[in-house]
Amino acid sequence: MADALAEKNTITDITNYRNTGYPNTQNIYVRVDSRLNNDCLGLGSYISLTVESIPIIKPITQTHCDDDQDGLYAFDTSLIQTNLLNGLTNVTVSYFDQNNVQLSSPLPNPFVTASQTLKVVVKNNTAKACSYDSTVKFIIDDLPQAFPVSATLTAICDDEVDPRKQDGKYAFDTSSFQNTILGGQSNRVVKYFDANNNSLPSPLPNPFDTSTQDIRIEVINPLNTTCTASLTIPFIVNPVPNIMLTGDELVCSNLPTFTKDIDAGLFDLSTTPHYSYLWSFNGVPILGKTNYTLTVNKAGLYTVEVTNMLGCSRTRTITVMASDIAKTTGIDIIDLAVANSITIAVNGQGDYVYGLDDEYGIYQTENYFTNVSAGIHTVFVKDLNGCGVTPKEVSVLGIPNYFTPNGDGFNDYWNIKGVNASFNAKTVIYIFDRYGKLITQINPTSQGWNGTFNGLQMPATDYWYSVQLEDGRILKGHFSLKR
């Protein structure tokens, strides 16, 4: 009114006027002046401007993961209307689906729906009802799936060649893991975490060198990172049996009752009940032989597969070689010499040593003996592997150079040495004096000549002999009788 009286703040454009009243009402006054002298012809209230406030609401979005993969979700709508109005009162709220079908207000709770956007209309409950449109979005994002990896790919036995050097690690082949985990899903993020929750490369390195540990996997929908699926892959490196991988043994082929016990070669014998054993001979399983030890008496290749309770195994190979007692194939004797010698030839699979005259005495590796005294000797051939001793009696011939028949019990008789009932028993021996007179004929198996002739002692001098050996040799020479 004051502006009209004072002719101030004239409204120049009545088609585009922004009211200035507060809070929402303004009176507009009209003044009529004369064009002639500008006299005021009239003044009064012409119109009242009333501006209703718009019930402004903000859009709401609810996002959830499709927990059962059916495309529907039961949304909690208990706070939607409260959050939409944010304190507005005296208003009416209407909801319309994507087909513009009006829904109940407030919305049902829970509100089961697929992903869709609802239109929300909020209108003042006044004579001049003003309204405002907004939206409520219900978004259902796919929940990823994480498909398991076969346990046959993640549980393995330690692969060290030497079981004593097991490091508990294995280089796993992970080339197929990512595809297996996703199972054909696209637009997914796969993350890997070790036992200490440290992030690992994705996909996993191939090969993946690790000891026993659980690897946690998350498959994430990048459109909604709260939609995840988790999976744990247990990488397991099981120990293998700690055994001696090879062994050697010997059996005596000449002794059917000779046996040896071979075993599976565990370093820790206290753990033998914790394993299973499968024995084979020359590649063929031995039925019923499942003990830690095996009694054998045949040469060949024996193997035993040792398996622990985790299913990991190692194979021990034992080579059983044959040995046997020696078989004499020849004797070479050089006798009637300054240095007599014996050489013995044998055949057999054993490892042999040789002894002379004493089975329990000293043995040598050479098969010949030198400086052997004349007489009957026994050569012993012993198998070092315990398969027995072969004795061989031999004769080394020798002719004494003298004898002393004085009755002292020592060297009282003269006879050729190396002859007995088994060797040259039919040898004929003649003794002559220096003039060629036959003194006596003696039996080679007897004590020999006692130095007498017709009961009389012969003088101390040289005497001659003629020896006709059974093998055909003839020996002649002389010896001395000493008193």
Fold of 327-396: Immunoglobulin-like (2.60.40)
Question: For 157-161, 296-300, 376-380, 389-393, which range has the lowest pLDDT when averaged over its residues?
Answer: 157-161
* Stronger pLDDT, 47 or 155, i.e. the higher one: 155
Closest CA to 130 of 139, 121, 138: 121
CATH 2.60.40 fits 402-481, yes or no: yes
Residue 444: pLDDT over 70: yes
Measured between alpha carbons, how far is residue 397 from residues 339, 405, 412, 476 in Å?
12, 22, 19, 14
Question: For 143-147, 157-161, 288-292, 473-477, which range has the lowest pLDDT when averaged over its residues?
Answer: 157-161
What is the secondary structure of 138-162 as a DSSP string? EEEEEPP--PPPPGGGTEEE---SS
Residue 202, C-beta contacts closer than 8 angstroms, at least 6 positions apart: 178, 189, 190, 191, 192
The pLDDT-based confidence of 1 (bands split at 50, 70, 90) is low
Residue pair 439/480 in contact by the 8 Å Cβ criterion: no
What is the average per-residue pLDDT within 113-131? Answer: 91
* Stronger pLDDT, 3 or 67, i.e. the higher one: 67
Exposed e or buried b for every residue in 261-286, given b needs 16+ CB within 10 A?
A: ebbbbbeeeeeeeebbbbbbbeeeee
The pLDDT-based confidence of 53 (bands split at 50, 70, 90) is confident
Measured distance CA(378)–CA(383) in Å, rounded: 16
Measured distance CA(95)–CA(105) in Å, rounded: 7
Residue 127: pLDDT over 80: no
The pLDDT-based confidence of 394 (bands split at 50, 70, 90) is very high
pLDDT in tens, 145-203: 999 999 999 999 998 878 778 889 999 999 999 999 999 999 999 999 999 999 999 99
pLDDT at 169: 93
Mean pLDDT, all residues of the chain: 92
Residue 36, C-beta contacts closer than 8 angstroms, at least 6 positions apart: none
What is the DSSP-derived secondary structure letter of residue 336? Answer: S
The pLDDT-based confidence of 400 (bands split at 50, 70, 90) is very high
Residue 282: pLDDT over 80: yes
Residue 46: pLDDT over 70: no
Residue 15: pLDDT over 90: no
What is the secondary structure of 22-72 as a DSSP string? SSSEEEEEEEEE-TTT--EEEEEEEEEEE-PPP-----EEEEEEETTSSS-
Q: What percent of the chain has pLDDT over 70?
A: 96
65's tokens: 């993961």
pLDDT at 162: 81
pLDDT in tens, 62-109: 999 998 889 999 999 999 999 999 999 999 999 999 999 999 999 999
Architecture per CATH, domain 246-323, reads as Sandwich (2.60)
What is the DSSP-derived secondary structure letter of residue 270? Answer: G
Residue 250: pLDDT over 70: yes
Exposed e or buried b for every residue in 17-29, given b needs 16+ CB within 10 A?
A: eeeeeeeeeeeee
Q: What is the 3-state secondary structure (H, E, C) of 180-198?
A: HHHCCCCCCEEEEECCCCC
Architecture per CATH, domain 60-142, reads as Sandwich (2.60)
* Stronger pLDDT, 311 or 483, i.e. the higher one: 311
Measured distance CA(81)–CA(77) in Å, rounded: 8
Q: What is the domain partition of the chain in residue ranges? A: 2-50, 60-142, 151-238, 246-323, 327-396, 402-481
What is the average per-residue pLDDT within 234-249? Answer: 94
Residue 6: pLDDT over 70: no
Hey, which bits of 239-340 come out as E strands?
246-252, 260-263, 275-281, 284-285, 293-296, 300-308, 313-323, 327-334
The pLDDT-based confidence of 389 (bands split at 50, 70, 90) is very high
pLDDT at 4: 64
Rounded to a whole number, what is the distance in angstroms from the first to the last CA of the chain? 188
Q: What is the 3-state secondary structure (H, E, C) of 297-308?
A: CCCEEEEEEEEE
Residue 270: pLDDT over 80: yes
Residue 23: pLDDT over 80: no
pLDDT at 40: 64
Measured distance CA(77)–CA(298) in Å, rounded: 86
Which residue's entry shows tokens 């346990």? 151
* Stronger pLDDT, 242 or 14, i.e. the higher one: 242
Residue 249: pLDDT over 80: yes
Q: Do domains 151-238 and 246-323 have the same CATH topology?
A: yes
Fold of 151-238: Immunoglobulin-like (2.60.40)
Measured distance CA(289)–CA(195) in Å, rounded: 43
Measured distance CA(370)–CA(344) in Å, rounded: 12
What is the average per-residue pLDDT within 213-225? Answer: 97
Which residue's entry shows tokens 């946690």? 216
Exposed e or buried b for every residue in 225-247, given b needs 16+ CB within 10 A?
A: eebbbebebebbbbebbbbbeeb
The pLDDT-based confidence of 12 (bands split at 50, 70, 90) is confident
The pLDDT-based confidence of 45 (bands split at 50, 70, 90) is low
Cα 240 vs. chain centroid, distance in angstroms?
A: 5
Measured distance CA(172)–CA(352) in Å, rounded: 53
The pLDDT-based confidence of 362 (bands split at 50, 70, 90) is very high
Measured distance CA(216)–CA(234) in Å, rounded: 9
If phi > 0 it is left, if psi is from -120 to 50 it is alpha, else beta; for residue 54 that is beta
pLDDT at 360: 96
- pTM for the whole thing? 0.62
Residue 122: pLDDT over 80: yes
Residue 2: pLDDT over 80: no
